[in-house]
Structure 1
Amino acid sequence: MLRLLSSLLLLFTTCASAQNNVIVPGATWTDTSGNAIQAHGAGILKVGSTFYWFGEDKSHNSALFKAVSCYTSSDLVNWSRQNDALSPIANTMISTSNIVERPKVIFNQKNSEYVMWFHSDSSNYGAAMVGVATAKSPCGPYTYKSSFKPLGADSRDEGLFQDDDSAQTAYLLYASDNNQNFKITKLDANYYNVTTLASQLSASTLESPGVIKRNGKYYLIASHTSGWAPNPNKWFSATSLSGPWSSQADIAPEPVRTYFSQNAYDLPLGSNAIYMGDRWRPDLLGSSRYIWYPLDFSSGSPTLVHADVWSVNLQAGKPQPVPVLVLQLPGFGRTYSAASGTTYEAESGTLGGSATLASDSSFSGGRAVGYLGHGGTVTLNNVQGNGQKHWISLYYANGDSTWRNVTVSVNNGPSILVDQPDTGGGHVILSVPVQVTLNNGANSIVFGAGQTNYAADLDKIVVY
């Protein structure tokens, strides 16, 4: 558990002014033009005071290549879309009939250029290559160079790591040999190709990798292979990229499957980092959500800090946009803050129709409301608001193998449909966000009304 080194800091401002200054994992994240951010399989680059977010544009709801997008931000929260960094080229490995995934960009000081690496593949994932492109400015546009198999072997999910040595040695991290072996290979001085194999984790079935260096130790974070479905992401450590690597350990409680996400990129920030993951939705890839959490190293190992609503403080002591508990971490000049919310237990509401109480030790207080939807409802009265927009996190259990959803209606207003991904079991609790406007004072919120399908079991809600 994090050590509280600074006093509690409560800053009261409206949620309306805060809505564009917080990170809400699982929410639809919009850019400064109001459009949903399309940057899946993220890669982050910092140049001066500007962050660049590269990713896969999946707005066409297909795995096939549409574009590598480029967004810019000065605060990691408000992002502006720029020109596409990489666009399809007919009759090449980056055509609209091919796969371009997990773009990562690093700067090559020798040539004063930006170099992008990505997973380059055929539509059936049979080619298993990496692709390389270059540009003279961060967003490009990038000039495609080639696609190839590094050292003649498969490469699927991949990442890059640039060391902090004087030579800025860079490495390719990738799933290889039909996803059975994980490899770390040194790049050449131009970052155009690979030279030698630094290490291999045999029979590890790892993908979606990232590496963070802390106090001379390297931390590898990766998921196992389970297609689009989530699994418990792991971390490994070593004092050299050549290994040996430690045995795997969880970055989050194993049952939550990394809070239904897969690692995309791990951004160092002070003495800690930000875990940047994807919550994939293969039937609607463009609606896949981003799951970003603080990645805390204060215990000596990387641990995800679950927070429904949180902010990144790029300057210590900077005023926070919502009531927060500020955690000043050891040796960490920058802070992250988790918003303080008010909890309302579902079982304290008024049940309607076929809704029933469910008992299980996994639920907060041991109880929840089941059989919502299909005639069943629960109404929570006296939910306090301030007349502005609020984020509400719905804590629920969905033991199905498929997603469910639930309707949310505030003060007899129109219903909002909120998706509820499967939680990996009826005893596992996850949360999903919804943003609503609450009147100043007491409000009434109805869950499950007007839907013919069953919703997940509702444990509680937390209002921010």
Structure 2
Amino acid sequence: MPQHPIPVVSGVAWFDDSGSPVNAHAGCIVREGDRFFLFGEYKTDDRNAFAGFSCYSSPDLATWTFEGLALPPQPDGLLGPDRIGERPAVMRCPSTGRYVMFLHADDLGYTDPHIAFAVADDLRGPYVLGGPVTFAGEPLRRWDVGSFQDDDGTGYLLVHEGDVYRLAEDYTSAAEKVAAGVAPGGESPGMIRAGGRYHLLFSNKTSWERNDNYVLSAPSPAGPWEPSGLLAPAGTRTHDSQCGFVFVDAGPEAPPMYLGDRWSFPRQASAATSVWQPLHLDDAGVPRLGPFLPAWLPTSGEAVDLLADAAVLPAAADLTAGRSHVTAPFAIDAGDRVALMGTVGPDSGYARVTLESSAADGDGDRLTAIVDFYSGVAADGIRFLTGPLAAGRYRLRVEATGERPTWSTKDGTPYGATDCRVRTSAVRVLPAT
């Protein structure tokens, strides 16, 4: 770990070592030695077809290097053209030493579901698709999938609606269904062993919308599973996220880490972000999320006030079709970062945020990002954050695109923003640390 830990900042775009957005959604983290490897869905904005599963590495869970596509689109088969690939979950199989990736494969209409697996000798990949996971000789034709590895190396598959399968010794098939239907209506499962018990995390089914996720607890993966209440404070919609994975190997003093997704349909590649938060055990030993921490140290779970010494620059605006942009000029020293502050809400849409050099510098655009200002729960905070910048004069331009996230579920229930407003409050310059 670095001498001065770097905080995780939730709900904003992250940029890798090349300046590109980190594109790894609904995935997992695996630790190998002193590095962490993040696997996730490599999304595009134009369609929901499988574009690959990405792999990123990091020394600190906050700065990321793109390692490439661990599993690219296939020429045919379960992950071939016009197919969907979701929720990669990677575990090292103790009996073979190989890495096994589990995933949901489907057609674009979600009518041909399979839980599939791929294997690799190197954690980074490339992974070779092995076919469907079978149980009792038949393919597992299910949707949302998660994984859990117990202390003794036993592997489990977690499936929507609350089915739990114990994996065979080589991790390529399911040997036993140890629990069935314990979470009717639940999806995006995750599991943690804590407080002497096992805990399953589930989201409710609201399509791309966020909701109040919940917890089930049991003395073993086989149950009996009992409701243990909400994962996060009621009404927060799990801090505007959907559960997906719990990481427990960040360090000796590190808390378990909740990995959640803040989906943004249809801007899944350019505007969806991650919500990572520390988990704590309540008095009953059940994992919970506390109040939302915008920034925190993964080594300790300690909150970090990024804005404590930040200069405030005026950039208040309510951007609509009639007033489509606001610009804030500023000068910074080497290593400074810039944050855009704003308000999310039910009537808000997408913004295009562009960091430009000033005319005097003459270097043109530095960075452009799409930011989603929609939320079912109104809140103020950081909406965009750069990495460390070179010294110079800059402009931050915020433009309302006129687009808004909107969709409906399979039964026609509408969700999403009612308008495309973008509310900004200020630009903050964070001094180099």
- Indicate whether 1:110 and 2:95 are aligned: yes
> Does the Cα contact within 8 Å between 2:255 and 2:298 map onto a contact in 1?
no
Q: Distance in 1 between matches of 2:176 and 2:109?
A: 28
Residue 417 of structure 1 and its aligned partner are, at CA, apart by: 7.8
- Tell me which residue corresponds to 1:164: 151
Q: Which of 110, 113, 128 is the aligned partner of 1:143?
A: 128
Task: Write out per-residue CA displacement over residues 233-265 of structure 1, whole angstroms, 9 at most, x where no aligned residue.
Answer: 222222211112221422223323122221222
Match of 2:175 in 1: 195
Between the aligned partners of 1:107 and 1:62, the Cα distance in structure 2 is: 32
The number of residue pairs the alignment matches comes to: 394
In 1: Cα distance, 2:52 partner to 2:22 partner: 13
2:8 aligns to what?
23
Task: Note if contact 2:319-2:399 (Cα within 8 Å) is conserved in structure 1.
Answer: no
SS at match of 1:338: coil
For residues 165-219 of structure 1, the C-alpha deviation after alignment (integer angstroms, 9 at most, x for no partner) is 2xx11110011xxxxx320111111101112111124462111111111132112
Q: Per-residue CA shift, 1:122-180, capped at 9, x if unaligned?
A: 22111121111111111121121112564555411111101002xx11110011xxxxx
In 2: Cα distance, 1:239 partner to 1:118 partner: 27
Q: 1:266 aligns with which of 246, 249, 265?
A: 246
Q: Cα offset for 1:26?
A: 2.3
User: Would the aligned equivalents of 1:171 and 1:187 in 2 still touch at CA under 8 Å?
Assistant: yes
RMSD over aligned Cα atoms: 4.0
**Would the aligned equivalents of 1:57 and 1:286 in 2 still touch at CA under 8 Å?**
yes
Residue 85 of structure 1, CA deviation: 1.6
104, 118, 127: which one pairs with 1:133?
118
Judge conservation of contact 1:395–1:432 (CA < 8 Å) in 2: yes
Is 1:213 the counterpart of 2:193? The answer is yes
Separation of aligned partners in 1, 2:387 and 2:28? 34
Letter in 1 for 2:373: P
Q: 1:435 aligns with which of 385, 399, 402?
A: 385
Amino acid in the other structure paired with 2:262: R
Equivalent residue, structure 1, for 2:51: 66
Map 1:168-317 → 2, pairs under 5 A: 168-175=153-160, 181-202=161-182, 204-268=184-248, 269=250, 270=252, 272-287=255-270, 288-297=272-281, 300-305=285-290, 306-313=292-299
CA contact (8 A) 2:232 2:238 kept: yes
The corresponding residue for 1:119 is 104
Identity of aligned residues (%): 25
Aligned to 1:367: none
Give the equivalent residue in structure 2 for 1:363: none
Question: What secondary structure does 2:79 align onto?
Answer: coil
| Aligned counterpart, 2:64 | 79
Q: Distance in 2 between matches of 1:117 and 1:449?
A: 40
TM-superposed CA distance for 1:404, in Å, is: 4.7
The structure with the largest alpha-carbon Rg is: 1
**Deviation (angstroms), 1:92:** 1.0
Cα deviations by residue, 1:36-76 (Å, 9 ceiling, x for unpaired): 22211112111222211111111464321121212222211
TM-score (norm 2): 0.76
Gapped regions of structure 1 (runs ≥ 5): 1-16, 176-180, 314-333, 356-369, 439-444
Partner of 1:392: 339
For the residue of structure 2 that corresponds to 1:247, the secondary structure is: strand
Give the distance between the partners of 1:98 and 1:350, measured in 2 at CA.
43
Q: Does 1:155 align with 2:142?
A: yes
Residue 101 of structure 1 pairs with residue 86 of structure 2? yes
Residues 410-460 of structure 1: per-residue CA shift (max 9 Å, x gap):
9999998873432215xx32534223799xxxxxx9998898896355688
Asked if the contact 2:349/2:421 (under 8 Å) is kept, the reply is: no
Please, which moves more after superposition, 388-397 or 300-309? 388-397
TM-score by length of 1: 0.72
Does the CA-based 8 Å contact 1:56-1:101 persist in structure 2? yes
- Contact 1:28/1:36 (8 A) holds in 2: yes
Q: Which amino acid aligns with 2:30?
A: L
Deviations 1:340-359 (A, max 9, x none): 53499x9xx898xxx8xxxx
Letter in 1 for 2:374: D
Look up the match of 2:410: none
Out of 376, 382, 393, the residue aligned to residue 424 of structure 1 is 376
SS of equivalent residue, structure 2 residue 236: helix
